[in-house]
Amino acid sequence: MTDTKSRPDIPIDRIPGTVDMLILQTLTVGAKHGWGISHHIRETSRDILQLNQGALYPALHRLEDRGWIHAKWGVSENNRRARFYTLSAEGRRQLERETAGWLEFVKAVQRVMQLSPT
């Protein structure tokens, strides 16, 4: 059982657009269904970033609405009907823009935080 109390409380939607960016990034490796996306983010962030349904599905629908991702019904690894999402060309461009902005932002925040005493 994972100990939830010792984990720092990081709300994944603290910065608007973060969720979208994470989803787009996740889809660069290939088509994934909703649970696959949230699982991938949880795994790669070592359980720090948790994306629940309430945040994930609205985001997926929003991204689909904007044409950044496409969805198609397919068959999952355990042989069940699942909705798979893929990155569109437009989505890829959007991801590039967001990544650049994000890295700038992280660097800036880091510079500020390093100056302050811990």
Partner 1 sequence: MSDLSNLRHRLTRRLRALFDRGALERELDDELRFHLEMEVEHLMRQGLSPEAARAKAQREFGGEARAKEAARDARGLRVLEDAARDVRLALRSLRRSPAYTAVALLTLALGIGATVAVFSGVDAALLRSLPFPDAGQLVMLHETNRKYPEMHFAGANFREVEEHGTGLSSVAYYGEDTVTVLGGLEPRRSPSALVSPRFFDVMGVRPLLGRGFTSDEGAKGQPPAAVVSHRFWQQVLGGDPSWVGRTLRLGSGDTRVVGVMPQGFQFPAGVDVWLAYVDTNPHRTAHNWSVVGRLRHGVTPERLGVELAARFASLKAELGTAMDAEGVIVTPLQTFLSRDSRTPLLVLLGSVGLVLLVACVNLTSAGLARAQARQRELAIRSALGAGRGRLLRQLLVESLVLSFAGGALGVGIAVGLLHLLGTGASPLSTLAAPTLDARVLGFALAVSLLTGLAVGSAPALHVTRDLRGAMAQGATGTGGGRLRGRALLISAEVALALMLLVGAGLLLKSLHALLGEDPGFHPERVLMAEISLPESRYGKEGSHYGDGDRVRGFYERLTRELRELPGVESVGVINQVPLSGMSMTSGFMVDDGTVTVGSAGYHIVDTNAFATLGVPLLRGRALSEEEDRAGSPHVTLINRAMAERYWPGSDPLGHRIRLPGMDAHKSEWMTVVGVVGDVRQDGLDAAPKPQLFVPQSQRPERLMAGATVLVRASGPLSELGPRVRAVVRATDPDAPVEVSFMADLVTGSVASRRLLAVLIAGFASLALFLAAVGIYGVLAYSVAQRQRELGIRMALGARPGAVRAMVLRDAMRAVLPGVGVGLVGALVLTRLLRGLLYGVSETDPTTFVGVALALTAVALAASWIPSRRATQVDPLLAIKGD
CB of 109 vs partner 1, minimal distance in Å: 28
Q: Which is nearer to partner 1, 24 or 60 (CB)?
A: 60
Strand order in the sheet with 81-87: 32-33, 81-87, 69-75
CA–CA gap between residue 24 and residue 96 (Å, rounded): 10
Residue closer to partner 1 (CB basis): 53 or 99: 53
Kindly tell me which of 27 and 34 has the beta carbon lying closer to partner 1: 34
Please state the closest distance from residue 77 (CB atom) to partner 1, in A: 9
By CB under 8 A, name the binding residues for partner 1: 1, 33-36, 38-39, 50, 52-54, 56-62, 64-67, 70, 73, 76, 78, 80-83, 88-90
| Residue ranges in 2-78 assigned as alpha helix (H) | 18-27, 34-44, 53-66
Closest approach of Cβ 19 to partner 1, in Å? Answer: 12
Distance CA 43, CA 29 (A): 14
Distance, in Å, from the CA atom of 42 to the CA atom of 116, rounded to the nearest integer, reads: 30
